[in-house]
Structures are given as structure tokens and as C-alpha cells.
Amino acid sequence: MARKPKSTEPEKIVYAPVQPQPITETIEKNYMPYVMSVIISRAIPEIDGLKPSHRKLLYTMYKMGLLTGNRTKSANVVGQTMKLNPHGDAAIYDTMVRLTRGNEALLHPLVDSKGAFGKQYSSNMAASASRYTEVKLDSFCAEMFRGIDKDAVDMIDNYDGTMKEPVLLPTSFPNVLVMPNKGIAVGMASDICSYNLGEICDGTIAMLKNPKVSVEKLMSIIKAPDFPGGGDIIYDEEKMKAVFTTGSGSVRIRSRYSYDKQANCIDILQIPYSTSIELILDKITELFKQGKLKEITDFRDEIDLSGFKLTIDLRRGVDPDKLMQKLFKLTPLEDSFKCNFNILIDSTPRQMGVPEILAEWIKFRMSCVRRELTFDLKKKEDKLHLLLGLGKILLDIDKAIRIVRNTEKDADVVPNLMEGFGIDKVQAEYIAEIKLRNLNREYIINRIQEIEELEKEIAAIKEILEDELKLKALIAKQLAEVKAKYGKPRKSYIIHADEIAEYKEEEHIENFNVRLYMTKEGYFKKITLQSLRGNDEQKLKEGDEIAFTEDTDNLGELIFFTDKCQMYRIKVSDFDVVKASAMGDYIPSKLSMDPGEKPIFMRLIDSKSNPEKENMVFFFENGKGVRVPVTSYITKSVRRKLVGAYSDASPIVAAFLEKTNDPFDVMLVSDVDRAIIVKTSLIPVKTTRTSAGVQVFTLKKGQRLVGAYTDFAERFEDTKGYKKIKIPATGILLSEKDIDKQQLKI
């Protein structure tokens, strides 16, 4: 039979009809599980301050005995962690690096490290391979695991069911606000800045004592974030309060620097936590190439074993503080940390402020401590139960031995002991397991002596468990212990926004010679020398007189001390040129001084000034005097206003400037017309600005110092006999002519 030839036509494929699927359903089934996995299991920290990757790594190291043991190779820890975190060795090692002491990313490192782990402030300094570095848990981690072996937290199976791991770590302090954390999930992110451990412990204790404590009270305790990299936090009260209460906002941070006068260079010693040295160098390079930083001759990275340092060499005559204002404006030497306190609470992400976070942590910690105490209570009750059974056989040890010896079957020993002494099975099992050598009166008496102590401990634990206030008191005590043991001073200094001068692009300031005048009533004049040639008769307010006169140029700077213990700084160029016939600027208005505040002394800083060889000399109404080095008034940032310029223990009478190698005589006059003349070198130098000084003029009760003069030869008829070579000194009565002169002036 002939075969039918095969068809050469291609076989037709029949497709099933396409079923439309709404995109919302696709997202819900395929995308949302991924989103929730990233949010809950990877990117967002929980109330213990840790992400799952941190927690799995730390718990693995804890189970390896690395809290008290010696360091081990990082590769060993990474391998063991993969039993809990199967995301690859590189990801685990990167997590470990950030937690180490060597990386300097945390205020309180969790991992004690040996080897090169890179630096948080540098993107180019990478960590050595895990086979070269060694790690163990830092002793600080003992507070992270406090109570974990006492059922303080829930334990769950790992990914393959072969191990148990904690859902959270029972941290004995609010680590969520002490450890800086950053995470990017899907549709949300978390940026938590670090706060000072001591301040956080004190703030939490305040909330434990009073859950309704005010935000203002808490902010007075927890002042501002504290970054591991240090720097200066520019404190803006409104912005800081927004971050504190809502968990959203930004914190401005400035680099900290010092000026080396001998080498004429600026050393940047700390930079904002949110930037890196490479970003700063790149920006300075860009500005230098564009010709916008002509003040600089060179700049370089000088990081070494002693720590961070970025050096900038200056041209001769450049003002370092003014240059830094410019660099703060144009480079990441001033940067902002964007705060976004997103935290998982019961697997739900919530944005919270500091008070709300602390309240949630207190709730969490109370649960941990309650479970820990319950665990201890059960152990102690079980032990007490056994000892009570042991106490019953003390009445007749021979009977117990006889029961065991006369029992034919091993299985009947426990029932016979139960029947013979009226004890339960657990107690009978315990007694049956006691070695024969221990069935003596001494051993049994020693054991049951613990009963009374156990009963006290059990009663104390029950008392705490039944009283929430006592439970909170226990947590507060633990927080105080943590602060005392691990607390550190702030790394980030706080400077107020109104104390710093912002950089502004200014036109070239014309320089010319001027003469400056300040009157006793607080009026100021800047007059060109050319103008003075024609008329040097000064117009003054009635009863006013010239107090200070200085010849300088228009590029100088002025410092004014006031009667309110404050100092103000302003440039000569900020004043307008006036004629001698004008009244001039009223300094309290020009410098926005406090109501009723007046200047008492003016000091010029120009190219001829040498602050290192000068002292300020102050005299007070209580007869005391003090010398303070001018260098004590030099601040790292250019502040227009400095509070606490001198002691406020007594009203100020007069202030003078003294060259350290050229002391001068001052005549002091009291309100009872007595006077002394002393040389300023007799007065001790105090480096603290607010020092009250020493007694110079001995005054009786109710008397006060009313005058201090360096031009006493012009003011008084005869100044012989007033000179004193030791202090304190008693005043000599002024001559009648001098008394009359004083009264006329008054």
C-alpha cells in the first residue's frame, strides 16, 4: 500500500485566547510582596535601632562567644553569619565594616576591630579583605544583649529551620537614637541621626518619671544630634524643634578648623558626617581652576595615624576666618544632614519624633524586662521548690536511704520517696539524683539555707512585676548605669545661628586712612584724615566727651565691650564716613545691642595688632580686678556677638588694653573719695573670661569703686602718696582740691 506523502506546509499553532489582567492586580500580587519584604526585612530599622542584617551579624558573633573571647578572622564571622543571613559574604562584610571601631562611623562602635576597615569620611579608603582583618564584639554590646538568654525577646527559626534567632535585641538603652542609620526601601527611606548617649539616657529617665514631660524640658536635656565625625552644629531653634517633634527636617553641620599662624595654613580637623573628603577636595579643585579661590596656594589630604586632616595653604595677608566663611558657602565643608525618622513598629513603618520614639522604646523595654524577671522568677521558684523538698528529708535522712535501699525496682524509687515524705515527683527526682556522698546533714543544711534568701528574692521580683512604677524605676536605674559606664562628652559642638557670620559676595572694599572716635555716651565716628585737616572740632552731645581715639585704615576690625558682659565685633568698613560736625553712629543701635546696653571699651584689630602679647584689664565696683589674655576672645568661628565676655559678679567700672611687656599705672577711686594707684602687672592673669578676679582695692561694707583712670596726672592735682606696691590695698583720702574737682564733674 503506497504511503501518503508528508505535507510541506508548516504546522499551525493554536494559541489560547489572551485573558486581560488589571495592572492593579499584577502590582498587588507580584510587586507588593517585594515592596513589603524590602521595607520590613532589609532597609528600615526597628525599635532596637538595628536592621535585620545588623541583628543577624551581632547575634552570630554573640553565639560564637566573641563578647568575651579573643578576636577571630572576619572571614570566619562572615561565614557563620550566612547561616542566618544568606545574602552573600560581600554584603555581610560591608555591614560589619560600618559597625567597627576602625571605620569611625558610630559614636559607640559595636565591633572591636583590628586591621584596616576604611573610614566613614572617605569614599576611597576601602576596608581590607575579610581574611586579613580580625574582630570581636565590643564590651558595649553587653548592653545590646542584656537578658537575651532569659527569654527577654521572641526567638524565631532561621531561613532553613536549623537555628533560632531573635526577632529584636533587648537593648538596655534607646540604641535607635544613639546609632546613626540610613536605609532606602521602596517608596520610603529612613535617615536617623545619632544623639549623645548620656543625653538620651537622661531624657529617657525623665520620660520614665513623667510620661507627659514637655517637649521644651526634653529639648533642654537632649540638646541636638551628636555626630561621630564631630563638627559644629548650627543650632536653629525652630528647625531643631521640627526635627525633634516630627522626625523630619535637616541639621546644618560645619567643619571644625584651626589656623597655624607660623605655617600660614588652615587645618580642617573635622568635617560634616554627611560628606567625604573626596567631595570637598573635588569642589575646592573646581573653584580653584575657575579662579574663585585666589586666596589659596595649595591644598592636600594629610590624613594619617593621628586622624583626619585637610590642609589649605594661604597667600600672605589672607584672613583665615573670612576665607573659611567663603568655603563654608561654596563647598561641602558646611553640609546638611536630612532627617527622616522612619522606624518599624510591629512591622509597620512610622515616622516619629524623639518623644514618640522614646515612648515606644519604653514600652518595648518594659516588655523585655518583664519577661526577663518572669524568667528569673520561674527559675528561683523551681529551685525553691526543690530545696523545700530537700528540707523534708532532713528530718530523717536514714529513712530516705532506707527507702532507696529497700526498693527492688529502679522505677519504684521515685514513687516510694514521694509516698514516704509527702513530696511531689519533681522533688523526688531531685532527691533521688543526689550522690550518696552528699546524703549527709551538713550538705543538706547548707543547701536549704538558701531558702530564706530565695524567698526574699522571689518576693522582690513579684513586687516589681506587680508595680509598673517600680518596673520603670528598675529601667531608669539600668539607664543611669549605662550612662555612667559608657557615656562620652559631645563630639559635635553647638553654635547658635545668630552667632555666625554668613559669607556674602562683596565688592572690593576701598582702603584709606581714617581716624576713629568713640564717646562715653556710645557714639562712633569714622573720619578721613583729609577731612580732619580743615576742621577737627568735634560735635558732641551735651555732656558727652571723647573716650577713645584710634588711627587706622578702612580694612580694620573693631571689638566693643559693653556694660552687660558682652562683646561685639564689627568691621571698620561697615561704618559710613562722616564729618567732624556730625554726631556719628549710635553704637547700641548699629550693633543691635540689648535694651539699655552701652559700650564701655573699644579695641581696634588691624595688621599692627598682636593679640598674643595683649591683655584686657577689668575693674569692678566690688574693688576687684582681673587681667584676661586677648587670645581668650579669639573664636574659631567669626561671631558678631560673644556673651560672657567678663565676670558678671559685680558691675563693671572700667576696661583697658595692656601690652604684656608694657604694664601701666591705674588710679582707682572709691565713692568715699579714697584712691590708690597700682600697676597692672600686680593683677594676676586669668585665662577664663568670666573669672571674678582678685581684690585690688580694700572697701568697707557698702562702699564701691566708682572710677579707674590712666590719665590721673591730668585729672588730679597731686598724685604722690597714692602709689601701692601690693594688693589688696587700702585707699588714701583724696586732697580737698581733688574732691572738689570730682564733685564738679558729678
> Cα(114)–Cα(133) distance, rounded to whole angstroms?
6
DSSP assignment string, 235-268:
E-HHHHHHHHHHSEEEEEEE-EEEEETTTTEEEE
Task: List Cα–Cα distances, 97 to 62, 574, 628, in angstroms.
Answer: 17, 52, 48
Which sign does the torsion angle of CA 390, 392, 395, 401 carry?
negative
DSSP assignment string, 641-693:
EEE--S--SS-EEEEEEEETTB--EEEEEETTSEEEEEEGGGSPB-SSTT---
Q: Cell 566693643 belongs to which residue?
A: 560
Angle at 417 between CA 413 and CA 423, to 5 degrees: 140
Closest CA to 699 of 666, 722, 740, 727: 727
- Rounded (10°) angle between helices 354-393 and 197-209: 70
Phi, psi dihedral angles at 461 (to 5 degrees): -65, -45
Tell the burial category of 388 from Cβ atoms under 10 Å away from its Cβ (0-12, 13-18, 19+): middle
Element (H, E) at 548: strand 546-553
Largest CA distance in the chain: 160
Angle at 117 between CA 111 and CA 120, to 5 degrees: 90
Which three-class secondary structure state does DSSP give residue 271?
Answer: coil
Strand ranges across the sheet with 566-571: 599-605, 557-562, 566-571, 641-643
Q: Cell 572709691 belongs to which residue?
A: 670
Element (H, E) at 568: strand 566-571
633 is catalytic: no
> Cα(514)–Cα(584) distance, rounded to whole angstroms?
14
- Residue 418's contacts (CB-CB under 8 Å, 6 or more residues apart) are 424, 425, 427, 428
CA dihedral defined by 482, 484, 488, 492, rounded to 10 degrees? 80
Contact 148, 55 (CB under 8 A): no
Given phi > 0 = left and psi -120 to 50 = alpha, else beta, which region is 380?
A: alpha
Which three-class secondary structure state does DSSP give residue 729?
Answer: strand
Closest CA to 53 of 42, 61, 64: 42
> Cα(607)–Cα(552) distance, rounded to whole angstroms?
9
> Cα(733)–Cα(730) distance, rounded to whole angstroms?
10
> Cα(233)–Cα(240) distance, rounded to whole angstroms?
10
Q: Cell 544568606 belongs to which residue?
A: 86
Closest CA to 42 of 79, 95, 81: 95
Name the DSSP letter for residue 594.
P
Element (H, E) at 433: none
The active-site residue out of 132, 159, 486, 503 is: 132
> Cα(416)–Cα(239) distance, rounded to whole angstroms?
77
> Cα(590)–Cα(528) distance, rounded to whole angstroms?
20
Contact 213, 65 (CB under 8 A): no
Which three-class secondary structure state does DSSP give residue 532?
Answer: helix
Indicate which residues carry an active-site annotation.
Answer: 132
